[in-house]
Each structure stands twice: as C-alpha cells, then as structure tokens.
Amino acid sequence: MELLYSLWNVVVAVANLLVALVLFLAPWTPLIAWIAFWLLAVNWRKFYPVLMRGGLVGVALVALMAILVWTVVAPPAGGVHHLYGLELSNVVGKTVYVTFLTVIAFMCGSVQVSGAVNCCFPEEEMESVPEAHH
C-alpha cells in the first residue's frame, strides 16, 4: 500500500509541475508562435531574394501601418509604456514593439539560412519574377 501511495505522490507532483509550466509559458505563447512561424514555416531561401528585389519596402510599410493602427486601437493604460524603467509615449512604445517583432522575424530567417535549423522544404523551381525595366 505504501508503494501505491508513493506512486500517487509522484503522479501528483508531475501534474503540479506540468500545471506550473503551462501557467509560466501561457503569457509567452504568442511570441513562441511568432518565432515558430518565422523559423519553421517560411522558406527564407525563397523569401530572401524577394526581399532584396524590393520586398523590404513592403515590409517597412506593413510595419508602419501596424504601428499606426495599433496606437489607435490599443492605447496603453496611463497613456505611456513602461519599458526597462523608461516611460515611452504610445507611438514610440508601439514602434519599439513592432521593431522588436520584425527583428525577431529576420533573426529567425538568418538562423534558418545558416543551416542551424533543419527545415525540410520541397525543392521546387521558384517562379521567376519579372524584373522591372528602367
């Protein structure tokens, strides 16, 4: 009977550990999903040439629109963001957040292209994008 009681205590301890782990990771789920998407779901070997042919302008414009919309839709409590002891205005705080997310996406791309992550994308011919003539 004592062995059964000890086994039950181990099961309860493992369950408590799993609950604590889920509660600890729950606030970080969106950031983990963001990293997983840009690291594992985007084929950066195909995406990088598109960025170099002018796609960076599109990325910058999307980031700018995200900043502008986010500042209007979700102003911070008290009107300022508190980051590392600084009080930043709404627009500056949202710019920091969007820049942070964009840098994370590009860092995931550099990790994937370096070969540190073994992503298996099917090898297929990339459709040629017509070059702009001047």
The pTM for the full model equals 0.76
Which stretches of the chain drop beneath a pLDDT of 70?
A: 124-134
Residue 93's contacts (CB-CB under 8 Å, 6 or more residues apart) are: 76, 80, 81, 83
Tokens 């369950």 correspond to what residue?
15
Whole-angstrom distance between the N-terminal and C-terminal Cα of the chain?
Answer: 85
Cβ distance 71 to 91 under 8 Å?
yes
Alpha helices by DSSP H, the chain: 2-25, 29-36, 44-50, 56-73, 90-114
Over residues 62-95, the pLDDT tens digits come to: 999 999 999 999 999 888 999 889 999 999 999 9
